[in-house]
Amino acid sequence: MAPENLFAGAYLDRRAEARLRPDWLAEAQGDTRTLYIVMRQSAALVLAGEATRIAFLPGTDPRVAATSDPDRMLLLGWYQNQRCVLVDLEPEHAVEQPGESFAELRPLASELPASEAGLLAYARALNIWRANHRYCSRCGTASVGIRAGHARQCPNCGAQNFPRLDPAIIVLVHDGERALLGRQASWQAGRYSTIAGFVEPGESLEDAVRREVREETGVETHAVAYHSSQPWPFPSSLMLGFTARAWHADPVLHDGELEDARWFTRADIHAGLITLPPAAAISRRLIEHWLQHAD
Can you give the CATH number for the domain in which 20 is found? 3.90.79
**Residue where a domain terminates, one of 132, 156, 178:** 132
Domain shared by 36 and 118, yes or no: yes
223 domain-assigned: yes
Tell me the per-residue pLDDT of 24-49, one tens digit each, with 9 for 90 and over: 999 999 999 999 999 999 999 999 87
Instruction: List Cβ<8 Å contacts ≥24 apart for 67-70.
Output: 67/93, 70/25, 70/145
Phi-psi region of 12 (alpha: psi -120 to 50; beta: other; left: phi over 0): beta
Domain shared by 104 and 42, yes or no: yes
- State the CATH number of the domain containing residue 230: 3.90.79.10
Q: Domain count for the chain, please give it.
A: 2
Name the β-bridge partners of 161: 152
- In eight-state DSSP terms, residue 256 is S
150 domain-assigned: no
Averaged confidence pLDDT in the chain: 94
> CB-based burial of residue 65 (10 Å sphere; 0-12 exposed, 13-18 middle, 19+ buried)?
middle
Domain shared by 114 and 189, yes or no: no
Tell me the per-residue pLDDT of 87-141, one tens digit each, with 9 for 90 and over: 999 999 999 999 999 999 999 988 999 999 999 999 999 999 999 999 999 999 9
3 domain-assigned: no
6 domain-assigned: no
47 domain-assigned: yes
Residue 3: pLDDT band (50, 70, 90) is: low
Domain shared by 74 and 185, yes or no: no
Domain shared by 286 and 197, yes or no: yes
Nearest to 218 by CA among 265, 261, 183: 261
Domain shared by 189 and 283, yes or no: yes
52 domain-assigned: yes
157 domain-assigned: no
Q: Which domain holds residue 276?
A: 166-292
Which run of H or E residues covers position 88? strand 82-88
Question: Rounded to whole angstroms, how far apart are CA atoms 162 and 170?
Answer: 25
Q: CA dist 51 to 43, 44, 54, 161, Å?
A: 18, 16, 10, 38
- Mean pLDDT of the region 263-279: 96
More confident residue, 167 or 294: 167
pLDDT at position 80 is 96
Domain shared by 174 and 74, yes or no: no
**Residue where a domain terminates, one of 112, 132, 152:** 132
4 domain-assigned: no
Domain shared by 125 and 175, yes or no: no
Domain shared by 105 and 203, yes or no: no
**Residue where a domain terminates, one of 83, 117, 132:** 132
Residue 254: pLDDT band (50, 70, 90) is: confident
> What pTM was estimated for this model as a whole?
0.91
